[in-house]
Amino acid sequence: MATTTMTGSSTRTTPRRRITKPLAVVALLALWLVAWTLLRGQDMLELPRATLTDLHHWLNDVNDSVGASRNSSPIFLYFFNEIRAVMDALVTFVQGFIAQPAYGRPVPVLGWLGVVALVSYASWAFANWRVALLAAGGFTLFGLQGLWQESMDTLALTLVAVFVSLLFGIPLGILAGVSDRFHRLITPVLDLMQTMPTFVYLAPLTLVFLIGPASATIATLIYAMPPAIRITAHGIRSVPAPPVEATDSFGATRRQRLTKALLPLSKRTIVLGVNQTIMAALAMVTVAALIDAPGLGKTVIKALQTTDVGTAFNAGVAIVVMAIVLDRVTTAASVRAEQGGGELNPRIRRLLLAGFGLVAAVCSYLSYTYLWASEFPDGGQLGEYLSQGATTVTTWAQHNLADLTAAVKEGVTIALLNPLEALLAESPWWLMGAVIVLLAALIGNLRAAAVAAVCVGLLVGSGLWNASMVTLAMTLVATLLVVTLGVVVGVWMGRSSRADRIIRPVLDAGQTMPAFVYLIPVVALFSVSRFSAIVAGVVYAAPVAIKIVADGVRAIPESTVEAATAAGSNTWQTITKVQLPMARQSLLLATNQGLIYVLSMVVIGGLVGAGALGYEVVAGFSQGQLYGKGLAAGVAIVVLGIMLDRIARAAAQRSDRAPSANQT
């Protein structure tokens, strides 16, 4: 939505007006600094660790009364309990099929040979040869790591969570695609589902849906469903108008318009949604293990209790491999969905489908009947190597790098983090709040300022203002590091496809390796500190930023870059004068996404010394009487996310318009 200032900026007077904006920002910051030196330490709204506000008590009471009504309330008897029964049955069924002994057999229905054969066959049938080989290799690796059963448990839970997410997510996404009102209604709900820390709703979930697969699945799908809805809606919304109008002109009904035009044309995007849903579901594997979800997550958590980095790493690798396999297969399937089957003659393909189908069926039968095809032979040799390797590397690093990393930690903390934290957290709340709102108005627009004002109010209301500002300082520093890495590595990858090929799998690993696996190494290198929390956030968020920047740089037409080179620009000039400015959109997106991803690691940060909001959430999960405070802290994280996101978006919109105004 354009405000009056924006429309004003497209006139001839633009240059002069645009100079005044930065000046105003600088003036605001200077004023803030002066006020800060005078008022520092007043009205900071600090809340001691064990102290609760009325709101926190009230939230505790609500939680308790929900628990108390478990056995009497009709909502439980006829609604929640039914959902739970269905979910439990679904998960148990899939587990009995591939993971757990079932139907009076000592082993699951399908053994490793059958699963590997079926997965490869499906990957080939829906995608292509290369990913089928990758799938076969990846799944065999689980067996070699000695983690076959754990991997299949994880797969079973993931499959059910994804299935249910899509079952509801795709129809909701279609609805959000065709109805603007529903789209507006559901967007904040999706924001909430994606940014609310899982720790906040784990305990209530087990109260409502009991301990077991149902709670674990529901925890997973709360996080995994939003991408399915968002991306489906996005797909429907970006179908170009002409084909739809053409369908309409033939007198199509609304239903026909949907099934004949909108759905087929957005098929590829919807498959991409499936892909993102799978990735999100896998991101929940370890957290769900905290409420007894079976699978690889448990291995990680158990290993953590004895600070066994190697074993945790081994299980982490299995999760990464599963994510990469499922990602590549679904991506290839979406490409196929768009471009069609490729070069094979349809008759031959049919024959092959039948032939390989037969092979897969025989393998499945064998794995049903014979022990050697059911239980993976020789478990774990490779896993031993992996875990020993990881332990050796960690030990080496903490002996040889710790001095260097400690220096880095001290440097960043003293030069950047401490001053920023002092500025944000030690300003009186009303001063800080005013600065945020004014800044939102200056670099964004009035609407962003209004959102910011509401958010400041909510943060104060949560009783956790001071903790929020401490967390905000860490988030900003982490985002700065993420964006720097994003630009440096992203440009490198965008310019060299060889670098891209080598780095991309590392980025995938950074995104999907559960943070619990690297908690101990991070503490070993950076000790228990806020900087450790920042590092954890950067490991998770930088890959996204790097990928976005790399794609942005690659999307610049080659002719433009060649023209610059021909005109005598050296590499540095080409990057700074041509490639970076032209990839501006991507840089903005990378910043925005980097920020959101960093925020989603706030709670993990709480486990390595971040304190503030992250620690409050963890404490609320661990102790009943702190539940309400933990929930408030979770809400504060969501509010921070929304506030920063809306301001950044408004700023991006505004700067989008500025250069185009220049060109006219």
**Structure letter (DSSP) for residue 555:** T
**Structure letter (DSSP) for residue 107:** S
- What is the x/- site pattern for other proteins, positions 551-590, by CB under 8 A? ----------------------------------------
Report the amino acid identity of residue 539: V
301 with 282: CB under 8 angstroms?
A: no
From 527, 541, 525, select the one nearest 609 (Cα to Cα): 527
- Interface stretch with other proteins, choices 130-138, 159-167, 254-262, 365-373 (CB under 8 A): 365-373
**Structure letter (DSSP) for residue 238:** T
- Interface stretch with other proteins, choices 231-239, 275-283, 430-438, 517-525 (CB under 8 A): 517-525
Q: Which is nearer to other proteins, 103 or 250 (CB)?
A: 103
Q: Which of residues 621-650 bind other proteins (CB under 8 A)?
A: 621-626
Q: Does 608 bind other proteins (CB under 8 A)?
A: yes
275 with 334: CB under 8 angstroms?
A: yes
Residue-wise DSSP of 269-281 = HHHHHHHHHHHHH
Residues 6+ apart with CB under 8 A from 656: 585
- Interface stretch with other proteins, choices 148-156, 173-181, 217-225, 619-627 (CB under 8 A): 619-627
SS3 307: coil
**How many CA within 13 A on the CB side of residue 273?**
28
The CA distance from 602 to 611, in Å, is 9
Contacting residue, 31, 189, 371, 401, with other proteins by CB under 8 A: 371
Q: Does 383 bind other proteins (CB under 8 A)?
A: no
From 253, 191, 212, 204, select the one nearest 646 (Cα to Cα): 191
How crowded is residue 420: how many other Cβ atoms within 10 Å of its Cβ? Answer: 17
Q: Which is nearer to other proteins, 223 or 621 (CB)?
A: 621
446 with 654: CB under 8 angstroms?
A: no
Q: Shortest Cβ distance from residue 77 to other proteins (Å)?
A: 13
Q: Which is nearer to other proteins, 436 or 470 (CB)?
A: 470
Q: What is the largest CA-CA distance in the chain?
A: 82
Q: Which of residues 397-426 bind other proteins (CB under 8 A)?
A: 398, 402, 409-410, 413-414, 418
Report the amino acid identity of residue 301: I
Q: Does 366 bind other proteins (CB under 8 A)?
A: yes
Residues 6+ apart with CB under 8 A from 459: 465, 468, 636, 639, 640
Q: Which is nearer to other proteins, 197 or 433 (CB)?
A: 197
Q: Which of residues 79-138 bind other proteins (CB under 8 A)?
A: 103-107
Structure tokens at 208: 């409502």
Residues 6+ apart with CB under 8 A from 617: 197, 199, 200, 602, 603, 606, 630, 633, 634, 637
Q: Shortest Cβ distance from residue 304 to other proteins (Å)?
A: 5
Contacting residue, 24, 252, 416, 528, with other proteins by CB under 8 A: 528
Q: Which is nearer to other proteins, 120 or 266 (CB)?
A: 120
Q: Does 75 bind other proteins (CB under 8 A)?
A: no
Q: Shortest Cβ distance from residue 57 to other proteins (Å)?
A: 14
177 with 235: CB under 8 angstroms?
A: yes
- Interface stretch with other proteins, choices 143-151, 368-376, 560-568, 572-580 (CB under 8 A): 368-376
Contacting residue, 46, 88, 248, 292, with other proteins by CB under 8 A: 292
Q: Does 147 bind other proteins (CB under 8 A)?
A: no
Q: Shortest Cβ distance from residue 44 to other proteins (Å)?
A: 13
The CA distance from 599 to 537, in Å, is 8
Count of residues of this chain found to bind other proteins when the rule CB under 8 A is applied: 81
Q: Which is nearer to other proteins, 182 or 356 (CB)?
A: 356
Contacting residue, 276, 331, 391, 527, with other proteins by CB under 8 A: 527
Q: Which of residues 54-73 bind other proteins (CB under 8 A)?
A: 64, 67-68, 70
Contacting residue, 145, 158, 165, 206, with other proteins by CB under 8 A: 206
Contacting residue, 222, 491, 524, 647, with other proteins by CB under 8 A: 524
Residue 516 Rama label (left phi>0; alpha psi -120 to 50; beta): alpha
Residue that the structure tokens 């009783």 belong to: 463
Contacting residue, 80, 126, 163, 368, with other proteins by CB under 8 A: 368
Q: Which of residues 312-351 bind other proteins (CB under 8 A)?
A: 345, 347-348, 351
**Structure letter (DSSP) for residue 376:** P
Q: Which is nearer to other proteins, 77 or 351 (CB)?
A: 351
Q: Shortest Cβ distance from residue 533 to other proteins (Å)?
A: 9
Q: Shortest Cβ distance from residue 11 to other proteins (Å)?
A: 51
Q: Does 658 bind other proteins (CB under 8 A)?
A: no
Structure tokens at 646: 């809306």
156 with 99: CB under 8 angstroms?
A: yes
